[in-house]
Structures are given as structure tokens and as C-alpha cells.
């Protein structure tokens, strides 16, 4: 008897987007398009581990002045996105 096919597991990824430099961050205030750098912090099929890496990336980026956003994606669709709050 053939075995039943397993359902494919969802793929999770955690992405960090940062301004490339201070000059790029200042370009936004002048109406120009800034340059960004991106980093894939995690990619895998475990939701629990993806959420751990998402939380750690949010904490790490909260102190970074070049931080733009931290994104959690599930199968290519955005599940959560955090952008740092600018101090007054």
C-alpha cells in the first residue's frame, strides 16, 4: 500500500532591513530615495525558532540608528513587520 504524502510545511524567514549609511538615512528627509542593506537572519520550517529569531532581531535593531524594519514572512507573505519608533 502506498504511503500518504506529507503536507509541505510552511517556510518562515526573518529579514532585517537597514539604511546603508547615515547619508542614506538623511536622503529621506530631502525627498531622495535612500539605499538599503538587507540581511536574512533566519530561514526554516519551524515557527517557534522563527519567532525566536524575530524577537531577537527586534531587540537588536531597537538600539541601531540605521534600523529600518524587521520582517517575519511565512511562505513569502508578510506575517509581521516592526519598524523602530523614532524618539521625539
pLDDT in tens, 47-80: 999 999 999 999 998 888 888 999 999 999 999 9
pLDDT recorded at residue 1: 63
Could you give the number of structural domains in the chain?
A: 1
Rounded CA-CA distance 24/33 in Å is: 8
Question: For residue 19, is it within any domain?
Answer: yes
Identify how many contiguous H helices and E strands the chain contains and give both numbers: 2, 4
Check pLDDT > 80 for residue 28: no
Q: With respect to residue 50, please indicate whether it lies within any of the assigned structural domains.
A: yes
Q: Is residue 88 part of a domain?
A: no
Domain assignment present for residue 23? The answer is yes
Q: What is the distance between the alpha carbons of residues 12 and 78, in angstroms, rounded to a whole number?
A: 10
Residue 53 lies in a domain: yes
- Is 66 part of a structural domain of the chain? yes
Domain residue limits at 50: 12-82
Instruction: Evaluate whether residue 32 is within a structural domain.
Output: yes
Amino acid at each position: 500500500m502506498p504511503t500518504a504524502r506529507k503536507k509541505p510545511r510552511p517556510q518562515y524567514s526573518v529579514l532585517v532591513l537597514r539604511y546603508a549609511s547615515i547619508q542614506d538615512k538623511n536622503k529621506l528627509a530631502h525627498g531622495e530615495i535612500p539605499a538599503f542593506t538587507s540581511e536574512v537572519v533566519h530561514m526554516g520550517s519551524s515557527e517557534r525558532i522563527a519567532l525566536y529569531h524575530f524577537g531577537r532581531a527586534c531587540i537588536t535593531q531597537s538600539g541601531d540608528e540605521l534600523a529600518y524594519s524587521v520582517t517575519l514572512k511565512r511562505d513569502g507573505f508578510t506575517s509581521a513587520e516592526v519598524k523602530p519608533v523614532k524618539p521625539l
